[in-house]
């Protein structure tokens, strides 16, 4: 066919995009093809939600209304512990992906359970921190700073909670069907979701907690 | 637990197109992010340097760590998904920066100009 010859010849018809390595057309319909990219674009729109919350926090972060300041209420050792937990949960999810690649179902399930437990510990410590703050009178209603703080950090915590729910659903699906192509695609989407939340947390611990205490 | 994976081997190469998950790359990314997390916490908790220096260093390290996570954990690079994840990432980054920097800039000036002026004598 002359049309394929025309497309394949880079001199006649140069490509202005990066050709994908190891591009195989077959199997794309089974693996979703566009699903990974589509999910990625969802994550980018989610990133913009967090960007607006970060901007809100940035604008309101000094509006204490005579209430508590970050220096008085943030406990950095607790935040450091939470950061470490989330970071370790990233690598445990990474191990789940490696196990998936090697076709080891038991390994995938083991690492998913580890990731889910670490995520639950993260949410638990965050709720403990929120409980302490509220007991001290540092409630979301106290000042604009605290409203913005609770909105930003709790939105992240809510995302982590849904990630844990998703891990639970994946464990059920893996138990029922094993590592078939659809489950592998779902695991890859969940991987992006989980690692994305860790990226958001970098912004939270740097701009909210560390810079807050410095100020 | 030892149930044989039901994945069709003929399809397995298609699942990871553009994504190379290697233990090495995950561990390297993890090591880098541990260092990039530990330094900011250490700087702030010990108060080793003055506040301005510390702030500049920790913000710089946060951006480096975000890039480390993006590359090693999210596998964003020029050939994943034909480069489109990278394009979407850069677009979102530009919008996020405009939104955050723009809001801070506008609201800072708004605050500064809305401050009660000193009352001029005799007026």
Does position A18 have pLDDT exceeding 70, yes or no? Answer: no
CB contact under 8 A, A214 and B41: no
Please indicate, yes or no, whether residues B55 and B30 belong to a single structural domain of this protein: yes
CB contact under 8 A, A80 and B10: no
Domain ranges in chain A? 34-214
3-state SS string for chain A: CHHHHHHHCCCCCCCCCCCCCCCCCCCHHHHCCHHHHHHHHHHHHHHHHHHHHHHHHHHHCCCCCCCCCHHHHCCHHHHHHHHHHHHHHHHHHHHHHHHHHCCCHHHHHHHHHHHHHHHHHHHHHHHHHHHHHHHCCCCCCCCHHHHHHHHHHHHHHHHHHHHHHHHHHHHHHHHHHCCCHHHHHHHHHHHHHHHHHHHHHHHHHHHHHHHHHHC
Please indicate, yes or no, whether residues B71 and B88 belong to a single structural domain of this protein: no
Look up the CATH superfamily of A34-214: Cytochrome c oxidase, subunit III, four-helix bundle (1.20.120.80)
CB contact under 8 A, A178 and B7: yes
Nearest alpha-carbon partner for A105 in A30, A174, A37, A160: A174
- pLDDT tens-place string over residues B71-116: 999 988 888 877 888 999 999 999 999 999 999 999 988 888 887 7
Quote the pLDDT of residue A67: 87
Tell me which chain B residue has its CA closest to the CA of residue A89. Answer: B30
CB contact under 8 A, B14 and A47: no
Please indicate, yes or no, whether residues B65 and B95 belong to a single structural domain of this protein: no
Please indicate, yes or no, whether residues B50 and B84 belong to a single structural domain of this protein: no
Whether B6 is in a domain gets the answer no
Closest CA–CA distance from residue A185 to any residue of chain B (Å): 7
Q: Is A49 on the interface with B (CB under 8 A)?
A: no
Please indicate, yes or no, whether residues B71 and B83 belong to a single structural domain of this protein: no
In this predicted complex, what is the ipTM? 0.81
Number of domains in chain B: 2
Chain B residues touching A192 at Cβ < 8 A:
74
- pLDDT tens-place string over residues A91-116: 999 999 999 999 999 999 999 999 99
Q: Which domain holds residue B71?
A: 22-75
Tell me which chain A residue has its CA closest to the CA of residue B7. Answer: A180
Whether B119 is in a domain gets the answer no
CB distance A106 to A139 below 8 Å: no
Chain B residues touching A111 at Cβ < 8 A:
none
């Amino acid at each position: 066919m002359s049309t394929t010859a025309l497309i394949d010849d880079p001199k006649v018809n140069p490509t202005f995009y990066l050709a994908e390595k190891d591009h195989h057309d077959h199997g794309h319909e089974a693996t979703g093809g566009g699903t990974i990219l589509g999910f990625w674009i969802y994550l980018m729109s989610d990133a913009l939600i967090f960007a607006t919350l970060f901007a809100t926090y940035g604008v309101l972060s000094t509006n204490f209304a005579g209430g508590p300041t970050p220096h008085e209420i943030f406990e950095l050792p607790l935040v450091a512990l939470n950061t470490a937990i989330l970071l370790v949960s990233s690598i445990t999810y990474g191990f789940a992906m490696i196990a998936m690649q090697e076709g080891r179902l038991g390994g995938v399930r083991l690492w998913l359970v580890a990731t889910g437990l670490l995520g639950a510990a993260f949410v638990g410590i965050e709720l403990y921190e929120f409980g302490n703050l509220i007991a001290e009178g540092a409630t979301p209603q106290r000042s604009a700073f605290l409203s913005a703080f609770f909105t930003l950090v709790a939105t992240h915590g809510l995302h982590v909670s849904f990630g844990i729910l998703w891990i639970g659903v994946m464990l059920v699906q893996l138990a029922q069907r094993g590592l078939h192509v659809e489950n592998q695609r779902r695991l890859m989407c969940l991987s992006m979701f989980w690692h994305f939340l860790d990226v958001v947390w970098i912004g939270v611990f740097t701009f909210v907690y560390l810079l807050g205490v410095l100020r | 637990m030892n149930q044989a994976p039901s994945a069709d081997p003929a399809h397995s190469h298609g699942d990871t197109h553009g994504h190379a998950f290697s233990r090495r790359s995950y561990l390297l990314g993890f090591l880098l992010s541990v260092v990039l997390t530990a330094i900011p916490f250490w700087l702030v908790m010990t108060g080793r340097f003055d506040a301005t220096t510390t702030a500049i260093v920790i913000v710089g390290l946060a951006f480096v760590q975000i890039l480390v996570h993006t590359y090693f954990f999210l596998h964003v690079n020029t050939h994943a998904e034909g480069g489109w994840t990278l394009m979407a990432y850069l677009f979102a980054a530009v919008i996020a920066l405009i939104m955050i920097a723009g809001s801070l800039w506008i609201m800072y000036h708004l605050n500064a100009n809305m401050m009660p002026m000193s009352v001029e004598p005799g007026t």
